């Protein structure tokens, strides 16, 4: 228990020490990565929901709908990141 708590505290300290602002190239790259990997959301969610379901057709249908929702969300957020990457987001 002590070991897991110390690992969590170490990870939190590392996460807080990393700068939260990525430069324009980093934001464009992250947005591009989101757009390109968004179709994989469908297959991942179909597999996950299908394995968790008691009745397979409901799990596959639910996974398909959930995957499509997450795919659209990733496409929109990736596109927004790519379009707004030249805009300076630093607080002054």
Segment 5-34, tens digit of pLDDT: 787 777 666 655 555 555 677 788 888 899
Decide if 9 is inside a domain. Answer: no
For residue 27, the enclosing domain spans 23-92
Alpha helix (H) residue ranges in 1-92: 2-17, 24-37, 40-52, 56-83
Which tokens go with 42? 């469908």
Instruction: Tell me the per-residue pLDDT of 32-58, one tens digit each, with 9 for 90 and over.
Output: 899 999 999 999 999 999 999 899 899
Burial of 86 (0-12, 13-18, 19+ CB in 10 A): exposed
Residue 87 placed within a domain:
yes
Q: Flag whether 15 is in a domain.
A: no
- Count structural domains, the chain: 1
- Write down the pTM of the prediction: 0.67
CA gap 22, 3 in Å, rounded:
32
């Amino acid at each position: 228990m002590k070991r897991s708590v110390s690992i969590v505290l170490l990870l939190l300290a590392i996460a807080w020490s990393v700068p939260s602002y990525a430069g324009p190239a980093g934001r464009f790259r992250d947005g591009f990565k989101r757009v390109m990997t968004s179709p994989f959301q469908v297959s991942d969610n179909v597999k996950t929901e299908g394995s968790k379901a008691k009745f397979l057709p409901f799990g596959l249908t639910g996974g398909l709908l959930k995957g499509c929702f997450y795919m659209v969300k990733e496409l929109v957020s990736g596109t927004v990141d790519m379009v707004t990457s030249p805009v300076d987001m630093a607080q002054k």
